[in-house]
Amino acid sequence: MTAHDIHAAPRPGLRATRALVGAELRMVTRDTAGLIVPIALPVLVLVMNGSGTSAEIIGPGEMTAFDRFVLPLALTMIVAVIGIVNMPSFLALYRKSGVLKRLSTTPIGPTQVLAAQVITSAVQATLGIGIALGTAAVLFGITPPHNPILVAAILMLGAAAMYSLGIVVAAVAPTANSAVAIGLTLFLLLGATGGLFGPVTDLPDPVMAIGEVLPFGATVTALGSAWAGTPVDIGGAIGLVVAVIAGTACAIRLFRWS
């Protein structure tokens, strides 16, 4: 046998990725808390704030404060909790238990492992968004978005930014518990600067300015603007794109099998 007869094993393609996604979906459905909390908590926030804001008209086209602020906040919470808290805990658990180390002996690369996590999280987020929109429509009645395509695009961009940050957390967290702690802290910090605990106008001007370009605040603001049909802040959109690019690059560079 000569060197010319030796060929590198082909990299697995979509078939392997589909298998990983299927395994991840089964894991998520078995984790009751991880499946329910990221959806139930934002829906609870939506319901608690809906009674006082669904009748408050704040703009043309019967746009209410609920449509403009509460609904975007709830949708952003769903993708943020799943991307920053849930997903990193699974990856850290796999590393701690040796699953990733065993995968490292196969042709599967880190990109496919990360892609499977993102796809699984996207499925869960889509389910949560559907439940939130359905709940809002039934209980409070929502005004249709002025630009549904732009709303969907912003939501996907915001989710990508959250997942990019979450993968960075997973790359550096040694255990599942530490991943949850780091992710929850990051979620609360981003939320605090993005309107999670009250109107951003109540924040100091420097903090408000920073929050407007961070993933949570940028997503909430852009979703509200797109829903109301007003111009989307370019600075926030750029902040989301930067978060996606920087987070993905850091995650791939810092990824560890063990």
**C-alpha span between 130 and 117 (Å, rounded):** 20
What residue type is assigned to position 106 of the chain? Answer: T
User: Which of 154, 1, 28 minimizes the C-alpha distance to 87?
Assistant: 28
99: phi then psi, degrees, rounded to nearest 5: -65, -45
Block mean pLDDT (10 aa), the chain, length 258: 45 71 81 83 90 69 81 95 89 79 72 79 92 93 90 94 89 86 94 90 91 94 92 93 91 76
> What pLDDT shows up at residue 55?
63
> What pLDDT shows up at residue 61?
60
pTM of the model: 0.86
Token representation of residue 120 = 């699984």
Token representation of residue 201 = 């106008």
> What pLDDT shows up at residue 13?
62
User: Which of 66, 70, 38 minimizes the C-alpha distance to 54?
Assistant: 66
User: Which of 115, 55, 48, 51 minimizes the C-alpha distance to 77?
Assistant: 48
In whole angstroms, how far apart are CA 127 and each of 86, 145, 191? 15, 19, 22
Those residues whose C-beta lies under 8 Å from the C-beta of residue 247, and which sit 6 or more positions away, are 161, 163, 164, 165, 167, 168
> What pLDDT shows up at residue 207?
92
Token representation of residue 177 = 């518990």
HSE (side-chain half, CA atoms, 13 Å) at 217: 26
